[in-house]
Amino acid sequence: MSSNNIYENNPLHGIGLEQVLTELVDHYGFEILNAYLNLNCFNTNPSIKSSLKFLKKTEWAKDKIEGFYLYQFKSLPRADESQFLLPPRDRIVPPHHKPGEPAELSFDDAENLRQKIAKKTRERSSTPDNPWGK
């Protein structure tokens, strides 16, 4: 594989943020996206235009959307540790990983995920090596 096309297997290769967002909204809708990603642009007067404006100036939120696109919408296996540290657009997807069907998502699953993340956050904050823990 030449260095010029190492990103070609990444579904984000060659498509813009507007297309990513439009595909996600068309498939899942703003309510499910808000439930999973907890971004205010999907909650308060959501639109493609206003969401794009926010995402283009907020790198962490754009990365969150693009990661969601790769791992939920395209159902790719999670990135390994070295790739996970990179923004989703810069990740190299191995040639044998092929995009699948979009994941079936529900509000119940979103709430379960939110509770799981909150629990991990509480556990991390209470570890002795965390200077911010109680």
Task: Give pLDDT tens digits for 13-62.
Answer: 999 999 999 999 999 999 999 999 999 999 999 999 999 999 999 999 99
Distance CA 39, CA 46 (A): 10
User: Is the pLDDT reported for residue 115 higher than 70?
Assistant: yes
What does pLDDT average to over the chain?
89
User: What share of the chain has pLDDT > 70, as a percent?
Assistant: 91
Output 26 or 85, whichever has higher pLDDT: 26
pTM of the model: 0.84
Q: Residue 6's closest CA among 76, 78, 93?
A: 93
Distance CA 95, CA 75 (A): 15
Output 2 or 80, whichever has higher pLDDT: 80
